[in-house]
């Protein structure tokens, strides 16, 4: 059965980050220096994007993987800041795609300004990440992050192509989220170990850990979008339904619904106005779709934790396990 999973909230992230608290402060300082401009309007937008980044989970993943597997070196700070720039760029672009109005309890860039500003700000952040990667002494991170960024974009494009496809199956869904979300968390953990001097087996285990974590995190995020409270989450919810994105609980609901009910479920997803979530709630309550999606997320978390057994026991390894558990039942 494996270890008991505790789940997590944003409140315990401070505790989980304790083994790399000072290092994360250095990464934040580096990000602040990167997210600035001599042009007031651009500077305002860049500083706004710093606030959108939120949890700093990906930089923490780089640093904790390094601490858990070897020696943390100067390159880790550059890599950690780079992955946060890439992640923040994708958030800015995602808000355009989803027409989201709120993130981290503040207005999205597209809401406060417009889509053109958001697209260009995301491009600016990607460009800044390239500049920062160029400061590394070798190109191992550049190659790995380039592959991950390409996979993320491919995953998003695959999801756009699957909108309104009510026959989407679980394999395709997991393929999409493995690319659009888990590719970056996987490379974060991998590069943390690689630059710390971890051996090949440990680097592979860390990469696998990051991938399993990313998949679990996305399943939980999809559940949050369907069932969460916007005031608690601090971001626009229900956007998957508006865009007719089939996520795991909906795929399960459609797959298990009687033929006579399936059309009604599809009609609820297609419904007009902002009550799609409410219209689906009764169908979800009568099915195992939510519990099924939670169980699938838990299975990925258990696999992630099992991969950590290849690392020596340490506070950093315990924090990595805690990050995997945090992915479950998240509300923010």
* Averaged pLDDT for residues 68-97: 93
CA distance 305 to 313: 12
Closest by alpha carbon to 182, among 152, 162, 206? 152
What is the per-residue pLDDT for 61? 98
C-alpha distance from residue 311 to each of 70, 206, 229, 288 (Å):
10, 9, 37, 36
Q: Which helix (H) or strand (E) holds 106?
A: strand 106-107
Structure-token match 């099915």, residue found: 287
C-alpha distance from residue 28 to each of 122, 136, 320 (Å):
19, 18, 20
What pTM was computed for the model?
Answer: 0.91
Structure-token pair, residue 299: 């299975």
What are residue 102's phi and psi, to 5 degrees? -140, 140
pLDDT, one tens digit per residue, over 95-127 is: 888 777 776 667 788 887 888 989 999 999 999
Q: Which helix (H) or strand (E) holds 103?
A: strand 102-103
Closest by alpha carbon to 124, among 24, 44, 60? 44
Q: In this model, does residue 3 exceed pLDDT 60?
A: no
What is the per-residue pLDDT for 239? 74
What is the per-residue pLDDT for 2? 43
Mark residue 57 as left, alpha or beta (left: phi above 0; alpha: psi -120 to 50; beta: remaining): alpha
Helices (H) and strands (E) in the chain, counts: 18, 2
CA distance 188 to 154: 19
What is the per-residue pLDDT for 272? 65
Q: Is residue 152 within 8 Å of 188, Cβ to Cβ?
A: no
| Cβ atoms within 10 Å, residue 151 | 19
Q: In this model, does residue 137 exceed pLDDT 80?
A: yes
């Amino acid at each position: 059965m494996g270890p008991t999973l505790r789940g997590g909230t944003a409140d315990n992230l401070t505790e989980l980050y304790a083994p790399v608290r000072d290092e994360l402060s250095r990464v934040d300082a580096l990000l602040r220096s990167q997210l600035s401009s001599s042009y007031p309007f651009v500077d305002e937008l860049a500083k706004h994007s710093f606030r959108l980044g939120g949890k700093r989970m990906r930089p923490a993943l780089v640093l904790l993987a390094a601490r858990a597997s070897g020696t943390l070196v100067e390159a880790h700070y550059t890599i950690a800041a780079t992955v946060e720039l890439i992640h923040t760029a994708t958030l800015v672009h995602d808000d355009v795609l989803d027409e989201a109005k709120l993130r981290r309890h503040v207005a999205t860039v597209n809401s406060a300004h417009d889509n053109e500003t958001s697209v260009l700000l995301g491009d600016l952040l990607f460009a800044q990440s390239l500049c920062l990667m160029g400061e590394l002494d070798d190109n191992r991170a550049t190659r790995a992050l380039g592959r991950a960024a390409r996979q993320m974009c491919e995953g998003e494009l695959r999801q756009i192509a699957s909108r309104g496809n009510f026959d989407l199956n679980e394999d395709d869904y997991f393929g999409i989220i493995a690319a659009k979300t888990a590719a970056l968390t996987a490379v974060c953990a991998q590069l943390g170990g690689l630059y710390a001097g971890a051996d090949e087996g440990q680097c592979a285990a860390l990469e696998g850990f990051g991938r399993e974590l990313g998949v679990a995190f996305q399943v939980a995020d999809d559940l949050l979008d369907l069932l969460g409270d916007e005031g608690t989450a601090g971001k626009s919810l229900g956007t998957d339904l508006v865009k007719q994105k089939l996520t795991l609980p909906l795929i399960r609901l459609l797959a298990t619904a009687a033929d006579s009910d399936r059309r009604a479920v599809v009609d609820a997803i297609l419904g007009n106005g902002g009550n799609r979530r409410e219209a689906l709630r009764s169908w979800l309550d009568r099915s195992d779709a939510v519990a099924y999606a939670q169980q699938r997320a838990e299975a990925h978390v258990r696999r992630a934790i099992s991969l950590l057994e290849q690392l020596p026991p340490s506070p950093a390894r315990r924090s990595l396990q805690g990050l995997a558990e945090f992915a479950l039942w998240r509300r923010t």
